[in-house]
Structure 1
Amino acid sequence: MNKSIYLLLLFGFLVFSCEHDPLYTPIEDNSDDNVIVDDVCDPDKIYFVNDVLPIINSNCAISGCHGGGSAQDGVDLSSYNGIMQQVDVGNAFSSDLYEAITDNDVDDIMPPPPSNPLNPEQILTIRDWINQGATNEECSECDLANITFSQSVWPIIQNNCTGCHSGASPQGNLSLTNYDEVAQIASNGYLSGVINHEAGFI
């Protein structure tokens, strides 16, 4: 009898001390708090944080539309997770997001008139990001040696500002559609104040 108890205790100890591989592979949590950061930028890759999010934030995830506390038609595009609700990973052409920005019907296209539609380059950026897997990634590499307006500054302005500051009625009556308009607010310090969220700037 004592031998049976001893063997039972030994068996129990062995069972509980065994380690095994899990029966499933955990799914990577790629939520907003789990951005993958690449130190070196791959020129052939579209990065969500660097390339896609500014376009969405400037044109879609604004107050009264799909962000800023509002979610028209239940669509909130103010976060990666919200955007992913409108994306068919790997297939832009069956994604609601891509369909909305390429629709030919003025009643359905996003952003709706009188806002300007996304330009072809912005549409291709979103399409390629979806087709590349729609990952939540960021590139942190920064080249300060070769900065030009057309290659460095304009894409940032275009993707972050022109969604509100262009068209027939630009927000704050401030249009940022060309070099001269951007240079004017850059030269008086206003652009820097806004970008850096300094006190006294909108």
Structure 2
Amino acid sequence: MKSPMFLLSLLITVIFSCTKVIDDPIVTPTNPCSTVTYKTDITPIINQTCAIKSCHVSGTGERDYTTYAGLKNDAISGKFKKEVLTNKSMPPRNSTGPNSLTAAQLEKFTCWINAGSPNN
């Protein structure tokens, strides 16, 4: 009688101790910077916050940011990064347009500058 009880106990233990292990799928995190482009992301921000009346447009005495060529030198030299990202002095408080940039806009500028400010 001990043997059938032992076998039954062993069988029950084996059945209840078996579990199916399901591995979590491997999720590769996406780099938000990998999708930032001058044409799609940077130009709209520039046009909305910088290249506005009396600021970074042709004929104002300021650098013209309406084209990549106008923005390129400031972006590559570090001037744009210093004024916009470090000092956060652009756009100025008395701007006729928005007087600050959102966190998302600042992140896009950071990504673009860190990528070498490409004309993409």
TM over 0.5: yes
Q: May I ask how many residue pairs the two structures share in their alignment?
A: 85
CA distance in structure 1 between the partners assigned to 2:47 and 2:61 by the alignment: 13
CA distance in structure 2 between the partners assigned to 1:95 and 1:127 by the alignment: 11
Using CA pairs under 8 Å that are at least 6 residues apart, name the structure with larger relative contact order, 1 or 2: 2
Runs ≥4 in structure 1, deviation > 3 angstroms? none
Query: Structure 1, residues 21-73: CA drift from partner, whole Å, max 9, x if none?
Result: xxxxxxxxxxxxxxxxxxxxx9623110100011011101112001154232x
Residue number in structure 2 paired with 1:87: 75
Alignment RMSD: 2.1
Residue number in structure 2 paired with 1:60: 50
Read off the aligned partner of 2:60 and give its amino acid letter. S
Is 2:37 the partner of 1:47? yes
| The structure with more radius of gyration | 2
Read off the aligned partner of 1:127 and give its amino acid letter. T
TM-score, length basis structure 2: 0.62
| Percentage identity across paired residues of the two chains | 32
User: What runs of 5+ residues in structure 2 fail to find an aligned partner?
Assistant: 1-30
Residue number in structure 1 paired with 2:103: 120
- The structure in which a higher percent of residues are helix is 2
TM-score, length basis structure 1: 0.38
User: What runs of 5+ residues in structure 1 fail to find an aligned partner?
Assistant: 1-41, 89-93, 138-202
Q: CA 1:53/1:71 → structure 2, altered by over 3 Å: closer, same or farther?
A: farther
